[in-house]
A and B are shown apart, each in its own frame.
Chain A
Amino acid sequence: MSNTKKLKKGFDIRLVGQADKQITSFAKSSVFALKPSDFIGIQRPKLKVKVGDTVKAGSPVLFDKMTPEVLYTSPVSGEVVEIVRGAKRRLLEVRILADKELEYETFNQFNIADLSNVSAEQITEQLCASGVWPQIIQRPYGVVANPKDKPKAIFISSFDTHPLAPDTDFAFQGEEQHLQAGIEALSKFTNQIHVGLNAKSPSKVFSGLKGVTFTSYEGQHPAGNVGIQIHHTTPINKGDLYWTVSPAGLADIGRMLLSGKYDPQRVIAVTGSEVKKPTYTKVHAGTSIKSLVEGNVNSGHLRYISGNVLTGEKIAADGFLGYYHNQVTVIPEGDGEQEFLGWITPQAERLSFSKAFGLLSFLNPKKEYRLDTNTRGEKRRFVVSGEFEKVLPMDIYPVHLFKAILAEDYENMEALGIYELVEEDVALCEFIDVSKNDIQSILRKGLDLLQYS
């Protein structure tokens, strides 16, 4: 049915706290937030609401001055209770106190058969107005797609290989119709829609999709990253434009078109070694994680992460789930007791890609680790060579690329393949880096340089 690509490079970070395959219901959060900082590439966010305004689910909250037609809308109905700003008045969060019974803005409602007759313009307009458009990400740069563009192809990865990531087959059961409707909508933009399947256990939900090209990928993380899948299908060159959509984004698009309502609900995984009962739960986008973790975590100084441990973001215990995140992870902070000679003593409790630490890890390949946030070393220059190449399954020379970025050498950045990468693809490099550099932010710096200058 589909062709399989085997990826030899990569590394699975096995952590304690995998979610049990059951949906647990927690108390519904009353506060939700839309965080402009979630959207990379949003340059000049302008608010359409002020504190005290009431909004419906799907009502516009803000837009970017550069692409005013794309609206960022409220995930729930209720009252805007707080607008949080950071340094230099940077807009951080728009908090909305949700109604008990949600009210929805109404958009055109379609059924699947209709969708093939609707024009691309009409679909674009509705996706932009309802707040699902930001689910479409553009490559290169990994920013929200511009509705005026025409992509060469659209890529969707049906599985997530990040540490403790939710199982898509479980999370999206029952969403088949929405996903298919999402595909119908996307097929207005290109006739090339690629879906990446996990070769080991192809998602039943996703392998039933029609009108798409399937490719299977076998390997360790980052095999599930859409960027890696693009590289092995049709690599991104200068001037190319691709779009990517996450499974949750696809479902949101489809649900909105079939129901005529913006109803961004999703099944997320509550995971991590400090969660007492790691499980799945159904929430609305932008939910506060307070009710999910309160009483459900171990004591101690903890870090709450929206997303996974490789690409996620630290949030407060009552912080909010990011727009693109499909899991919450809770792990211990690493600022507790300092370990005496911890860098040299042999120990089995530490996870390392390097055999200098994890020499005997092959004896227990399924072992799950309880990692904290300690950096376990200090920042140094790039000293070790050839390690990044082992975890980045792309024909790219990462160290040369990172050095080109640091030197702001535009030509070399382009020539070395920066267009193929976004942060999540180099997250493993950052994890294994002996010199403890912030690789993801280095890459973003390079992308910003190319995009805005």
Chain B
Amino acid sequence: MKFLREKLDEIKPNFSKGGKFEKFHPAFEAIDTILYVPKEVTSAKGVQVKDAVDLKRLMMTVVIALIPCLLFGMWNVGFQHYLAIGETSTFIDQFLYGAMKVLPIVIVAYAVGGLVEGTFSVLRNHPIAEGFLVTGMLVPLCIPASIPLWQVALAMVFAIVLGIEVFGGVGTNVLNVALTARAFLYFAYPTDISGDVWTAGIHGEGIKLVEGYTGATPLAIAHSTPAGESVANALSAVSYGGFDHIFSLKNLFMGVIPGSIGETSTLAILIGAAILIVTGVASWRIIVGVFGGAWLTGLLLNAFAVNPFMGLPAHYHLVMGGLAFGAVFMATDPVTAAHTTKGKWIYGILIGAMTVIIRVFNPAYPEGIMLAILLMNVFAPLIDHYVVEANKTKRLKRATV
């Protein structure tokens, strides 16, 4: 790799102060530092050696943790497609079809994200922040595969400009960036991100759907279950295309159901969660808090079950919809989550509880996790404020003794 290094060193002066492309220094620096560990050494006073970890490594760890979801999502997109149109297909067919649908979304997300971040870096002359590495992967995974690509591009622009840059950049943003993108799509183009959109490639000339296919997601079924019946039974009753009990608990957990690209499989998400927790990149307190909060709220609703959805066994909530994905990858964003240990528990539990409450009591909006996380993003500083305030008060009390 010596050649590459020499090449970079050769063109470096052009991008340094006084060089031809001085303005584009952040862009050059980003490429240079992605390829090579920078030469920078510690200052004369203070810490002389530094920990090997940097932000790039942490962000890439999140991306790596997302890979099981991505791969499963790609296969599942193909599988759901062939299931809905009733064609027989092999595993390879399914995976290739899914890849054809999903990879363009990922590429658009990264390209647009990188471009916007790069533009801002050049304009404001600050280093390119690594945040978009994660955002570029999270956004494709939390939207349906049938989304038009131009909407993905628009959502990325909206999220990076209004989610990050107006607040000053990664580290000072208030809202989770990926969810900002998703919320933008949800409110700007509701018909493309809700309703019958969860299976890719089923609308169009000459496509005939199998008998019994409705396009409904488990959450929609839960909402429409008539009084007096059990949601679990209603879910389990759905079968089409020769695939029985599509929404059985097992399938909900494995993720062989229609839904956003990366969030159907609780199993794949848990693999990612294991990677994040073992490497310490995500706070296990938040993840446990969200699952625990949702489960306990589910139990509480069971106790007062006046409609079928309230009677849904609490553990179903954990495997339905985007709760698991949101809990593991969105709620744990270190910048927008609560920063204190106690705060993380409160933040996580409230997200879980609020998700279930939104799901069950808001018939217009079936998925709760997105709004729950965005709402708690806003409240996270307040939670921290009270935790820190308690610490200050303790210090003050000590002083008067």
- Is there an interface contact between B50 and A397, defined as CB atoms closer than 8 Å? no
- Is there an interface contact between B48 and A375, defined as CB atoms closer than 8 Å? no
**Binary contact readout A343-357 vs B (1 if CB under 8 angstroms, 0 otherwise):** 110000011111111
Binding stretch for chain A, among B13-21, B216-224, B264-272, B390-398 = B390-398
- Is there an interface contact between A357 and B170, defined as CB atoms closer than 8 Å? no
- Is there an interface contact between B50 and A376, defined as CB atoms closer than 8 Å? yes
Check A357/B52 contact, CB under 8 A, given A378-B38, A378-B40: yes
- Is there an interface contact between B279 and A355, defined as CB atoms closer than 8 Å? yes
Instruction: List the A side residues contacting B41 at CB < 8 Å.
Output: 303, 333-335, 372-375
Most chain B beta-carbon neighbours within 10 Å: one of A377, A396, A399: A377
| Cβ of A431 under 8 Å from chain B | yes
| Cβ of B53 under 8 Å from chain A | yes
| Cβ of A339 under 8 Å from chain B | yes
- A369 → B minimal CB distance (Å): 9
- Is there an interface contact between A400 and B388, defined as CB atoms closer than 8 Å? yes
Query: Across the two chains, which residue of chain A brings its CB closest to B400?
Result: A237
Q: How far is the CA of A175 from the CA of B4 in the complex (A)?
A: 59
| Cβ of A309 under 8 Å from chain B | yes
Check A338/B5 contact, CB under 8 A, given A374-B39, A416-B388, A431-B49: yes
Query: Across the two chains, which residue of chain A brings its CB closest to B338?
Result: A385
- Is there an interface contact between A440 and B47, defined as CB atoms closer than 8 Å? yes
Most chain A beta-carbon neighbours within 10 Å: one of B50, B58, B344: B50
Instruction: List the B side residues contacting A423 at CB < 8 Å.
Output: 46
- Is there an interface contact between B53 and A434, defined as CB atoms closer than 8 Å? yes
- Is there an interface contact between B51 and A383, defined as CB atoms closer than 8 Å? no
Instruction: List the B side residues contacting A355 at CB < 8 Å.
Output: 278-280
- Is there an interface contact between B394 and A395, defined as CB atoms closer than 8 Å? yes
| Cβ of B340 under 8 Å from chain A | yes
Q: Secondary structure of the A side of the interface? A: loop
Check A338/B334 contact, CB under 8 A, given A377-B56, A383-B171: no
**Binary contact readout B29-40 vs A (1 if CB under 8 angstroms, 0 otherwise):** 000011111111
Q: How far is the CA of A315 from the CA of B53 in the complex (A)?
A: 26
- Is there an interface contact between A353 and B49, defined as CB atoms closer than 8 Å? no
- Is there an interface contact between A377 and B53, defined as CB atoms closer than 8 Å? yes
**Binary contact readout B269-307 vs A (1 if CB under 8 angstroms, 0 otherwise):** 000000000111101000000000000000000000000
Instruction: List the A side residues contacting B88 at CB < 8 Å.
Output: none
Instruction: List the A side residues contacting B45 at CB < 8 Å.
Output: 313-314, 440-441
- Is there an interface contact between A374 and B40, defined as CB atoms closer than 8 Å? yes
Instruction: List the A side residues contacting B46 at CB < 8 Å.
Output: 311, 423, 427, 430, 438, 440-441
- Is there an interface contact between B37 and A343, defined as CB atoms closer than 8 Å? yes
Instruction: List the B side residues contacting A430 at CB < 8 Å.
Output: 46-47
Q: How far is the CA of A377 from the CA of B57 in the complex (A)?
A: 9
Most chain B beta-carbon neighbours within 10 Å: one of A235, A354, A415: A354
| Cβ of A342 under 8 Å from chain B | yes
- Is there an interface contact between B48 and A344, defined as CB atoms closer than 8 Å? no
Instruction: List the A side residues contacting B57 at CB < 8 Å.
Output: 343-344, 354, 356-357, 377
| Cβ of B68 under 8 Å from chain A | no
- Is there an interface contact between A351 and B36, defined as CB atoms closer than 8 Å? no
- Is there an interface contact between A343 and B56, defined as CB atoms closer than 8 Å? yes
| Cβ of A331 under 8 Å from chain B | yes
Query: Across the two chains, which residue of chain A brings its CB closest to B9?
Result: A338
Instruction: List the B side residues contacting A397 at CB < 8 Å.
Output: 339-340, 388, 391
Q: How far is the CA of A438 from the CA of B170 in the complex (A)?
A: 19
Most chain B beta-carbon neighbours within 10 Å: one of A339, A343, A359: A343
Q: How far is the CA of A436 from the CA of B232 in the complex (A)?
A: 51
- Is there an interface contact between A378 and B171, defined as CB atoms closer than 8 Å? no
- Is there an interface contact between A380 and B129, defined as CB atoms closer than 8 Å? yes
| Cβ of A384 under 8 Å from chain B | yes
- Is there an interface contact between B44 and A313, defined as CB atoms closer than 8 Å? yes
- Is there an interface contact between B53 and A340, defined as CB atoms closer than 8 Å? no
Check A383/B38 contact, CB under 8 A, given A309-B49, A310-B47: no
- B38 → A minimal CB distance (Å): 6
Instruction: List the A side residues contacting B396 at CB < 8 Å.
Output: 415
Query: Across the two chains, which residue of chain B brings its CB closest to A417?
Result: B395
Looking at the complex, which one of B1, B36, B344 makes contact with A386 (CB distance below 8 Å)? B344
Number of interface residues of A (CB under 8 A): 73
- Is there an interface contact between B279 and A376, defined as CB atoms closer than 8 Å? no
Instruction: List the A side residues contacting B52 at CB < 8 Å.
Output: 350-352, 357-358, 376
| Cβ of B215 under 8 Å from chain A | no
Instruction: List the B side residues contacting A359 at CB < 8 Å.
Output: 278-279
- A218 → B minimal CB distance (Å): 22
Q: How far is the CA of A50 from the CA of B333 in the complex (A)?
A: 60
Instruction: List the B side residues contacting A375 at CB < 8 Å.
Output: 38, 40-42, 50
Instruction: List the A side residues contacting B60 at CB < 8 Å.
Output: 343-344
- Is there an interface contact between A342 and B36, defined as CB atoms closer than 8 Å? yes
Q: How far is the CA of A331 from the CA of B53 in the complex (A)?
A: 19
Instruction: List the A side residues contacting B51 at CB < 8 Å.
Output: 351-354, 357, 376, 431-434
Check A438/B49 contact, CB under 8 A, given A380-B127, A385-B334: no
- Is there an interface contact between B281 and A235, defined as CB atoms closer than 8 Å? no
Instruction: List the A side residues contacting B335 at CB < 8 Å.
Output: 383, 385
Q: How far is the CA of A77 from the CA of B184 in the complex (A)?
A: 76
Within 8 A of A (CB), among B84-137: 127, 129-130
Looking at the complex, which one of A356, A371, A396, A440 makes contact with B280 (CB distance below 8 Å)? A356
- Is there an interface contact between A386 and B53, defined as CB atoms closer than 8 Å? no
| Cβ of A55 under 8 Å from chain B | no
Q: How far is the CA of A329 from the CA of B171 in the complex (A)?
A: 35
Check A343/B47 contact, CB under 8 A, given A239-B399, A356-B279, A386-B334: no
Q: How far is the CA of A102 from the CA of B339 in the complex (A)?
A: 58
| Cβ of A238 under 8 Å from chain B | yes
Query: Across the two chains, which residue of chain B brings its CB closest to A411?
Result: B392
- B272 → A minimal CB distance (Å): 14
Q: How far is the CA of A416 from the CA of B384 in the complex (A)?
A: 13
Q: Contact residues of A with B, CB < 8 Å?
A: 13, 15, 235, 237-239, 303, 305, 309-314, 329, 331, 333-335, 338-344, 350-359, 371-386, 389, 395-397, 399-400, 415-417, 423, 427, 430-436, 438, 440-441
Which 5 pairs between the two chains have the least Cβ-Cβ distance? A377-B54, A381-B171, A350-B52, A237-B399, A342-B37
Can you sample 28 A-B contacts with CB below 8 Å? A239-B399, A303-B41, A314-B48, A331-B48, A334-B39, A334-B42, A338-B37, A351-B51, A354-B280, A356-B57, A372-B41, A374-B50, A375-B41, A377-B38, A377-B54, A380-B55, A382-B171, A383-B171, A384-B55, A385-B334, A386-B283, A386-B339, A386-B341, A397-B388, A416-B392, A431-B50, A435-B171, A440-B46
Q: Contact residues of B with A, CB < 8 Å?
A: 1, 4-5, 33-58, 60-61, 127, 129-130, 169-172, 278-281, 283, 334-335, 337-341, 344, 384, 388, 391-392, 394-396, 398-399
| Other A-B pairs, 19, CB within 8 Å; known A376-B37, A376-B52 | A238-B399, A310-B47, A313-B44, A314-B44, A334-B39, A340-B1, A343-B37, A343-B57, A343-B60, A357-B52, A374-B40, A377-B57, A378-B54, A381-B171, A385-B335, A385-B339, A400-B384, A415-B392, A417-B395
